[in-house]
Amino acid sequence: MTLINKVIINKQTAKKPIWIMRQAGRYLPEFREIRKRNKDFIKLCLNEKLSTEITLQPLKRFDLDAAIIFSDILMVPHGLNQKVEFKKGFGPILDEIRINEMSTLNEEKFTKKLSPIYKILSLVKSNSVTKNKNIIGFIGAPWTLLVYMINKQSPKLKLKNNFLNDIATNKKILSLLDKFLKIHIKNQIKHGANIIQIFDSWAGLLSEKELKDYVYDPTIKLVEYTKSLNVPVICFPRNIKNYKKFCEIVRPDVISIDYNIDPNLIVKDIKIPVQGGMNPEILLSDKETLKKEAKRYMDIFKDHPYIFNLGHGVLPETNPDMMNYLIKTVKDY
Ligand code: 1CP
């Protein structure tokens, strides 16, 4: 059994596994080298050879317990024929959403459009570097995808006014997302993913009373669907105010936490396995600070099933030596 499965299934607490969100990415010079020659990000995500190579890059360098496939949550809107582009220094730009056209799309066409992603999973799975390690497939949560599909750019830069006013349209999009996210989950599992992580990066934008319709209800359906396929599911409702309530309602196998929440509260309130938490900026400091902070998380979760990770993706300015030092610290704990 993999170390991560021992934590999730057997609730093992003695050894802490580690993987890092965005572990394949811009802080690695070998990634930047490929990226420089491949300006079109969507095309790169659909390039079987290069995306497999990028997925495996961090595993060749570091003693990580999982591979997460190099792809993006916005590949699903792309699969639904909403045009997605990534502009340097700006982030994603999405085209107008054409819901009627989307409604005519079937499973076969969607699967065909995203088939390189599934091939990448098979290639990652069959590579000896991932032997005895987990392979993490992922989706964006319906809410976070709805945000990008309607807002058409990162809400970090600008959020459209009256965002939630058109309830009928929002419902239609959520219903389409439910259908096609299930297909995307099923396809990833069929090709080798043995954990699914649901990224709800913008859960923190909603008020308590909006959470039911936009976060809890749509996420429960996907969590239950993934569990029905006998694969564990990790939820990351970033910056949600009440993680305890989220866990009680949504019931994921693992809860991934951000760095604004006090881990002491989490360990007290939450019984299921926990992942993540440390601020990625700590990797920009010095080794002593890094070791101290990593140990603080591991001390707090000493007697709790815990997967080491960060509270958000690793920052592009991170020195790979610091990443190596972090992984060693966790492994030697
Ligand atoms: O070179 C580049 O400019 C590409 C940067 C990049 C990378 C490395 C993007 C663009 N996506 C990715 C890969 C990616 N994205 C992965 C791969 C696996 C890994 O973790 O190593 C994953 C899981 C994602 C998930 C993702 N994409 C999320 C959820 C997690 C999070 O960061 O909150 C989100 C919100 C996106 C959208 C996205 N993709 C890329 C950008 C710049 C953005 C927008 C982020 C924003 O709105 O601020």
The answer on pLDDT for 162 being more than 90 is no
Q: How much of the chain, in percent, has pLDDT values that exceed 70?
A: 100
Name the closest-CA residue to atom 36, ligand 1.
73
Beta bridge partners of 153: 93
CA distances from 121 to 2, 48, 178, 231 (A): 18, 9, 22, 15
Tokens standing for residue 249: 């309602």
Distance 325 CA to ligand 1 centre (A): 24
Nearest one of 158, 267, 167, 174 to 216, comparing CA atoms? 174
Residue type, 305: P
Unique residue bearing structure tokens 């603080």: 296
pLDDT at position 315 is 98
Residue 327 reports pLDDT greater than 90? yes
Residue 21 CA, ligand 1 centroid: distance in Å: 9
Least confident of 19-33, 56-70, 157-171: 157-171
Residue nearest to atom 11 of ligand 1 (CA): 72
User: Which atom belonging to ligand 1 lies closest to the Cα atom of 68?
Assistant: 18
- Give pLDDT, residue 158: 84
Integer-rounded Cα Rg, in Å, for the chain is 19
User: What DSSP character marks residue 320?
Assistant: H
As beta bridge partners, residue 255 has: 235, 274
Please tell me the predicted confidence (pLDDT) of residue 160: 82
CB 143 within 8 A of CB 206: yes
Beta bridge partners of 197: 138, 234
Angle (CA) 26 262 324, round 5°: 35
CB 151 within 8 A of CB 21: no
What does DSSP assign to residue 214?
Answer: I
- For residue 22, give Cα distances in angstroms to 26, 58, 202, 308: 8, 10, 17, 14
CATH 3.20.20.210 fits 17-272, yes or no: yes
Mean pLDDT of the 238-258 span: 98
322: pLDDT confidence band, cut at 50, 70 and 90?
Answer: very high
Q: Nearest C-alpha to atom 12 of ligand 1 is from which residue?
A: 72
C-alpha–C-alpha distance, residues 55 and 69, integer Å? 5
Residue % of the chain over a pLDDT of 90: 97
The protein residue with its alpha carbon nearest to ligand 1, atom 22, reads 72
| Gap from CA of 74 to ligand 1 centroid (Å) | 9
135-154 per-position pLDDT tens digit: 999 999 999 999 999 999 99
Asked whether residue 161 carries a pLDDT value surpassing 90, the answer given is no
- What pLDDT, on a 0 to 100 scale, did the predictor assign at position 238? 97
Angstrom distance (rounded) from CA 194 to CA 190? 9
pLDDT score recorded for residue 157: 87
Residues 82-139 have pLDDT tens digits of 999 999 989 999 999 999 999 999 999 999 999 999 999 999 999 999 999 999 999 9
Confidence band, pLDDT 50/70/90 cuts, at residue 164: confident
Closest by Cα among 302, 195, 211, 296 to 250: 211
- Which mutation among 28, 72, 146 tests ligand 1's pocket best, with the greatest number of atoms within 8 A of CB? 72
Closest among 55, 137, 40 to 93, alpha carbons compared: 40
pLDDT of residue 284: 98
Question: 240: CA distance to ligand 1 center in Å?
Answer: 19
pLDDT of res. 59: 98
CA of 223 to the centre of ligand 1 (A): 22
- Tens digit of pLDDT for each residue in 27-66? 999 999 999 999 999 999 999 999 999 999 999 999 999 9
H-helix or E-strand spanning residue 331: helix 320-332
DSSP states of 82-111 as a string?
--EEEETTTEEEEPPP-HHHHHT--HHHHH
For the chain, the domains span 17-272
For a ligand 1 pocket test, name from 61, 71, 73 the mutation site with the most ligand atoms within 8 angstroms of its C-beta. Answer: 73
Average pLDDT value over all residues in the chain: 97
- Ligand 1 site: residues with CB under 6 angstroms? 21-26, 35, 41, 68, 70-74, 86, 91-92, 138, 154, 156, 199, 201, 313
Q: Give pLDDT, residue 258.
A: 98
Place of tokens 């987990």: 134
